[in-house]
Amino acid sequence: MLDSPHEMYPSSLPMEDYGLILEIPDFFTSKELHSVQQKIQDYGQIDKKAHPYVTLDLDVPACEKSKWVSDNCQEIFDYFEDTFPTDYRFSRYNTRSDGYGSYERLQGNPMNMSGYPAHNDGGKCITILCPLSPDESLPTGFHGLDQMHPVRSVPWKINHAILFCPSNNYSWHSYIGSDKDRWIFHYNLFDRLVNIAPSK
C-alpha cells in the first residue's frame, strides 16, 4: 500500500493490459479548485486554431496534493515498482541524487480539437491529469501495452485526478477535443531540475 495522507487507489482498468493508474479523488481543496477554475473563466474562449492546447502557468506547487507527490516521489516510485514492475522512466536513470523538478500548469484544448496522437510521456517520471472544465468532456484514453488494446479511460469527473508513472510500454495515451473547451490540470515530474520542456 502507498502510505499517503491523501486517498489514492488503483483504477479499475486491468493492470496487466493498461499498467498501474491511480485515481485521486478531490485532488484540489475547494479553495484551490475555486482559484484554478477562476483562472480558466478569466481566460475566456480558446482560439480554435490553438493546437493541441493553450497553457496557463501556475505557481509550483500548485496545490497541497501536488506538493505531497513531489515531496514523496520516492515512495510513489517504490509503490509502483512493488505493485507493477515494468520499464519505468524513473528506474531508467540513477538520478536520485540529482533531484526532481515538477512542471504544473493548466492546459486547455479548444472545442472540437482533432486528436492528439498516442504517446507514452516517456521523458517524465510522473504524470497527473485532473479534469477542471467543463462538467462533461472526453477523458484521456489509454491504449494499453504497446498500444495493442482497446482504448479505455477513467471517466471524466471534475477534480478527480489520475496519476501514472510513464514507462516505455504501458503508458500510451491520447486525447481529443469535445464540444466545449476542455481544461485540465497537468503535472509532470522530471528527473532533472534543468531543461524542463513543455510536455504533451
Chain contacts with Fe ion (rule: CB under 5 A): 121, 200
DSSP E strand boundaries for the chain: 9-10, 22-24, 54-57, 101-109, 116-119, 126-133, 141-142, 161-164, 173-175, 182-190
Q: Which is nearer to Fe ion, 107 or 159 (CB)?
A: 107
Q: Which is nearer to Fe ion, 4 or 56 (CB)?
A: 56
CB of 121 to Fe ion, least distance (A): 4
The DSSP code sequence of 3-31 is --SS--EE-SS-HHHH---EEESS-S-HH
Cell numbers 482497446: residue: 150
CB of 123 to Fe ion, least distance (A): 10
CB of 122 to Fe ion, least distance (A): 10
Bond from prior residue into 52 cis (ω within 30 degrees of 0): yes
CB of 140 to Fe ion, least distance (A): 8
Q: Which residue is nearest to Fe ion (CB)?
A: 121
Q: Which is nearer to Fe ion, 104 or 121 (CB)?
A: 121
Q: Which is nearer to Fe ion, 39 or 200 (CB)?
A: 200
CB of 171 to Fe ion, least distance (A): 8
Query: How many residues in total does the chain contain?
Result: 200
101 contact partners, CB below 8 Å, separation of at least 6: 189, 190, 192, 193, 194, 196
Q: Which is nearer to Fe ion, 121 or 191 (CB)?
A: 121
